[in-house]
A and B are shown apart, each in its own frame.
Chain A
């Protein structure tokens, strides 16, 4: 009975439109507006709940990763080549916060406070920086291969160090000779890529190709320096090129923190625009985004951040490329979630790889850059090979 009712209802609605049935080519001048209004009221609550769950899942992931980073740091600080008991470590940490209540003893305090803690903080900041910069670069260049390493920024820094180590030439003398040179040359590379990005007709493929070419150029130049280097100079270059967190100390902390506090919030504010940039320039322009300006602005900030990180820690190539991809697998492409997720995952990968490198073959310390790739690559390969139906790039 219900069916016949429906059919007759459709018939009457057709007959109201009159001669439309006879001549479909005749223009419909008065389309009824009630049809549209009424459909809005039947909200599909099931789909909306699904969406809420999806958002909730992403928030939960971010939060749990953050908690994991904190717990991991708390654990890592208690292990190291020198055996220091857990209670002692925390006593030392607390003693610097509340010097009145806890005592502070010589060597162990030195190790915890001046070696272990800065190393963990450097790891978190460097990993976070590499992760978010990779994420930003991939979005504005619309290319899954974009990362500080593939754009030649790391190799520029490498060459800067080689120049400083072998020829002793640098913009800033004294203790910041290496760091200053690394910063300068990585910024030079970044500016070249940015200039190229604003060059009319330069596609994102051109930029990646140019970045890889720059990579080769600076690698050869670094090799040239290496060829003429003495043993001592060689050692500096090699250890720097492998990426090492131990160069970081409290004296550098304020510089790194300053750049972080300046760059990260400004980049994160562009999260909505990054989403739109990733769907192409024409689409972005039609949605009101000044694409060249956004690209210039975000690339400059990201390069500044990455140059600062790289000049203190050396080449840690892998994280900038991979952390955003891993994050994307879990939280999707919305940069409001992807941006922090890339950063936190980057930090997580870096500190866990560093801790493994530090403790695997005691007392030998395996450099951070090597360990990151050794642990990260198999994990990443597993992730991209097992990916189910979803295509992630």
Chain B
């Protein structure tokens, strides 16, 4: 149940602004998707919330505490981050990878409780059979699952996911989304996900943020955000939006004009 309040956040590399005056309120225990074209600042925003990157200006409040005043370890106790992929030079086993998620809670010794927690998470995700396999030898879907398991072991009130479905087949896409949804509904975790698939976002999230060029263009429920006009404005794509009840379904039709590839 972590509430996240972002106010006037700006971030840029050297002179290139990536995020400009982003202000967002995220309610506790909600599933929020951030959508937008490549280079819109989705990943950057997630990294700022997790203090991997420090914003140039503006404030982020986590449950009322200013992120600036929190130590990295405190942030890690409250917010978990699932990277898109994790390249490693040296092989680690699945168990070791998930155990890393306990780091914010333990000192040098990983005691029985932490080991037990890891087993619990592995069982919950149904991956205890591969606990001793090497992370690098697994398929993309399994790797993604393990990175989510690591975030679960971190035992946080909020979880950030950076395009977790982009390299996965449709079975694994649904698997990831179901897992995250379960977290939100059952464990009351706040989930923020950067995602490219508008239909997955539409189907699973409570709120959608649509971004372009570092600014939030539209925010609200999937039905409010995923409109033909918004998609044309943000993606420069003509799309047909079909509604299944309250859930919009987007069918892209053709490109409108030429856009520089970023």
Contact = CB atoms under 8 A, between A and B. Distances in A.
Interface of A: 23-31, 33, 36, 39-40, 42-44, 47-48, 50-51, 54, 138-139, 142-144, 269, 271-273, 275-276, 278-280, 282-283, 285-290, 328, 332-334, 390-393
B51 A40 contact: no
Interface string B237-255: 0000000111101000000
Contact of A282 (B83, B92, B93, B124): B83
Contact of B124 (A30, A39, A279, A333): A39
Nearest to A290: B72
Contact of B89 (A54, A142, A271, A285): A142
A138 to B, nearest CB: 8
A139 B47 CA distance: 23
B249 A25 contact: yes
B120 interface: yes
Interface stretch (B1-9, B16-24, B34-42, B73-81): B73-81
A44 B100 contact: no
B154 interface: yes
Interface stretch (B61-69, B128-136, B210-218): B128-136
B181 interface: yes
Contact of B100 (A51, A276, A285): A276
A283 B89 contact: no
Nearest to A392: B91
A47 B186 CA distance: 27
18 contacts: A26-B245, A27-B247, A29-B185, A43-B123, A47-B129, A271-B108, A272-B103, A272-B108, A275-B100, A278-B88, A278-B89, A278-B90, A285-B50, A288-B72, A289-B103, A333-B91, A390-B91, A391-B134
Interface string B100-113: 11011010101000
Interface of B: 47, 50-52, 71-77, 80-81, 83, 86-93, 95-97, 100-101, 103-104, 106, 108, 110, 119-120, 123-124, 126, 128-129, 131-132, 134, 136-137, 154, 181-182, 185-186, 202-204, 244-247, 249
A193 B127 CA distance: 41
B109 to A, nearest CB: 9
Contacts of B51: 285
B83 A51 contact: no
A280 B51 CA distance: 15
Secondary structure call for the A interface: loop
A26 B243 CA distance: 11
Contact of B80 (A36, A279, A286): A286
A44 B123 contact: yes
Contacts of B72: 285, 288-290
A28 B203 CA distance: 10
Contacts of A285: 50-52, 72
Given A143-B89, A392-B91, A287 B124 contact: no
A49 to B, nearest CB: 11
Contacts of A25: 202-203, 244-245, 247, 249
B92 A30 contact: no
B123 A54 contact: no
B92 A334 contact: yes
Residue of A28, A272, A392 contacting most chain B CB atoms (<10 Å): A272
A237 to B, nearest CB: 36
Given A50-B132, A275-B96, A290-B72, A39 B245 contact: no
A36 B182 contact: yes
Contacts of B128: 44, 47
A288 B77 contact: yes
Contacts of B106: 272
Contacts of B92: 275, 278-279, 332-334
A198 B174 CA distance: 41
B182 A31 contact: yes
A109 B152 CA distance: 63
A144 B101 contact: no
A283 B75 CA distance: 13
Contacts of B245: 23, 25-26
B90 A283 contact: no
A349 B220 CA distance: 64
Given A47-B131, A47-B132, A283-B83, A328 B244 contact: no
Contacts of A144: 89-90
Contacts of B95: 51
